[in-house]
Structure formats: structure tokens, C-alpha cells
């Protein structure tokens, strides 16, 4: 029975969608010892999301970003705009995509599908340093 918990500060990015599977795994060598279990990856922010999607074509991430911007524009009726036009849309995008992922671990690895990668979706225009907490519960 193993519990691992670690806070990781991700590389900072301006607005966009980024593949961070390798960045997370490079900070988690302990995962190799887990035969079976789960990993919860929790983003401690309200204007960025985590998601799992296609891990090869960069166009997927660009199209997704453009679609999100079109779907959730800066509506004139928004009252919460202290921090600029990207403020309230960022909060809504966060709730639509979510900020917590739970992934199976099998024989020391995230048991993802062939085409799956972990996305950090930065919804603010300017760069931010984002923190995740990874909690692993599993068995040797």
C-alpha cells in the first residue's frame, strides 16, 4: 500500500493548450514502483484546465483553443472583469473542461490510450505559473 503526494510547478505558458504528460512523469519517478493504482492530478487554479486528448497532431490543440474562444467570448453582460477581457471566459472554460483528472496506473505507467496525452489549457492571455498536486494510491 503506497501513498505518494507531490506538488509540481509546471513550466509557465501564455494562452494555449500544451501537452504535459512527459513533464509530469519526469517529476514522478516513484510511479515505476506502482503495480496497480490510480493517480489524481489536481490543478490548483480557476483560470486553467486539465484535459486528456490527442497527443500527436498540434492542430488539435490549436483548433480546440480557437473553438473555446468562439464558444466563450467576453460577453458584454459579464460583471466580473477586474482582470481584463480574458478573466470571466477563463473561469467558464475552467469549469467546462475541469481541473482534476484521475488516471489508472498499471505496471508503473499511466494506463493511457495510444493517442491520449494530458493537456494543460492555459486560459489567461499572459503567462502564469501553474501548480498541480499529484496523489497516487496504489500497490507494489
CB 128 within 8 A of CB 70: no
Helix (H) or strand (E) holding 134: strand 131-139
Instruction: Please give the grid coordinates belonging to residue 132.
Output: 498541480
Distance CA 90, CA 46 (A): 8
Which listed residue (67, 109, 126, 129) binds a copy of itself by CB under 8 A? 67
Nearer to a copy of itself among residue 26 and residue 79 (C-beta): 79
User: How many other C-beta atoms are found inside a 10 Å radius of the C-beta of residue 98?
Assistant: 12
Distance CA 106, CA 124 (A): 35
Q: Note whether 92 binds a copy of itself by CB under 8 A.
A: yes
Q: Note whether 44 binds a copy of itself by CB under 8 A.
A: yes
Which listed residue (11, 109, 129, 131) binds a copy of itself by CB under 8 A? 131
Q: Note whether 129 binds a copy of itself by CB under 8 A.
A: no
Q: Note whether 18 binds a copy of itself by CB under 8 A.
A: no
Instruction: Please give the grid coordinates belonging to residue 131.
Output: 501548480
Nearer to a copy of itself among residue 125 and residue 133 (C-beta): 133
Q: Note whether 126 binds a copy of itself by CB under 8 A.
A: no
- List all residues 6 or more positions away from 113 whose beta carbon is below 8 Å from its beta carbon: none
Instruction: Give the count of residues interacting with a copy of itself (CB under 8 A).
Output: 61
Distance CA 69, CA 85 (A): 12
Nearer to a copy of itself among residue 15 and residue 116 (C-beta): 116
Interacting positions 98-117 with a copy of itself (CB under 8 A): 98-104, 106, 111-116
Q: Note whether 10 binds a copy of itself by CB under 8 A.
A: no
Amino acid at each position: 500500500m503506497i501513498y505518494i503526494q507531490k506538488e509540481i510547478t509546471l513550466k509557465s505558458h501564455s494562452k494555449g493548450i500544451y501537452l504535459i504528460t512527459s513533464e509530469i512523469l519526469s517529476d514522478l519517478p516513484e510511479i515505476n514502483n506502482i503495480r496497480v493504482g490510480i493517480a489524481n492530478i489536481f490543478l490548483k487554479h480557476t483560470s486553467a484546465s486539465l484535459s486528456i486528448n490527442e497527443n500527436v497532431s498540434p492542430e488539435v490543440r490549436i483548433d480546440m483553443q480557437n473553438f473555446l474562444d468562439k464558444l466563450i467570448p467576453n460577453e458584454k453582460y459579464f460583471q466580473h472583469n477586474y482582470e481584463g477581457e480574458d478573466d470571466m471566459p477563463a473561469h467558464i472554460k475552467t469549469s467546462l473542461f475541469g481541473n482534476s483528472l484521475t488516471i489508472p496506473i498499471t505496471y508503473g505507467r499511466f494506463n493511457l490510450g495510444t493517442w491520449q496525452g494530458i493537456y494543460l489549457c492555459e486560459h489567461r492571455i499572459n503567462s502564469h505559473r501553474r501548480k498541480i498536486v499529484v496523489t497516487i494510491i496504489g500497490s507494489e
